Amino acid sequence: MSDATPVLILPEKSFAGFLFDMDGTILNSIAAAERVWSRWAEGMGLDVAKFLPYMHGKRGIDTISSLNLPGIDPQVEADKVLAGEIEDVEGVVPIPGAVEFLASLPSDKWSIVTSSPLPLAKRRLEAAGIPEPARIVSSGDVTIGKPNPQGYILGAERLGVSPSQVLVFEDVLAGVQAGEGAGAEVMVITETHSHPIEGGQYRIPNYLGLAPQMQDGLIRIVRRG
């Protein structure tokens, strides 16, 4: 299955809550993130073209630590990158239909689980015009980032439901693995990708033409009209 085509695979079941990754899932920050990380990678003498696909969907500290670069402090470097990302939000936009879709959800039925630090998450949500949810699980809330399931387990806990009762929305393999590792089913958003993404039970390109429908305290996804 190629994610270059607008495949739509919707769940027929209902869920107690929705947990959304942020970057690439409800907003598109690729241009801004790649500008900042490209500058950092060039300064480190890395092959930028090879490095950029590797950094998406993970905590900055995890990305930098895994490179095992000699003579650097990963936390110091991650803080530099974070400062640059908070400053540069040009071109950060919502995934099509995301604003309307999220606005239709009861505030106690959804949350965000992101690999971004909280200040960056707030900045990008504001830039994309997406209201901040009551509960955000950010990189500072976990000790191990995606693909570890810790974030989604915590996200479900904050919604007051079991991970098996939530639908996770993701756009990268590390996030899909985190959601499935938590025991949740996963909806893959393909809007920002031209290559297939493994895993997940469901697929949508974006949120256009879709709406959440509440019944007996549970949510399902339906086509508008």
* CB atoms closer than 10 angstroms to residue 223: 9
d(CA 98, CA 104): 10
| Other beta carbons within 10 Å of 13 | 11
* DSSP code at position 45: T
Determine the Cα–Cα distance for residues 95 and 102; give it in Å rounded to an integer. 11
Active site residue 21: yes
Which of 3, 21, 62, 171 does the annotation list as catalytic? 21
Q: Could you tell me the end-to-end alpha-carbon distance of the chain, in angstroms, rounded to an integer?
A: 27
Residue 118 burial by CB count (10 A; 0-12/13-18/19+): exposed, middle or buried? Answer: middle
Contacts of 79 (CB under 8 A, 6+ apart): none
Q: 23, 62, 88, 171: which one is catalytic? A: 23
Is 216 known to be catalytic?
A: no
- Backbone phi and psi for residue 168, each to the nearest 5 degrees, phi listed first: -95, 135
Q: Which amino acid is at 202?
A: Y
* Enzyme catalytic residues: 21, 23
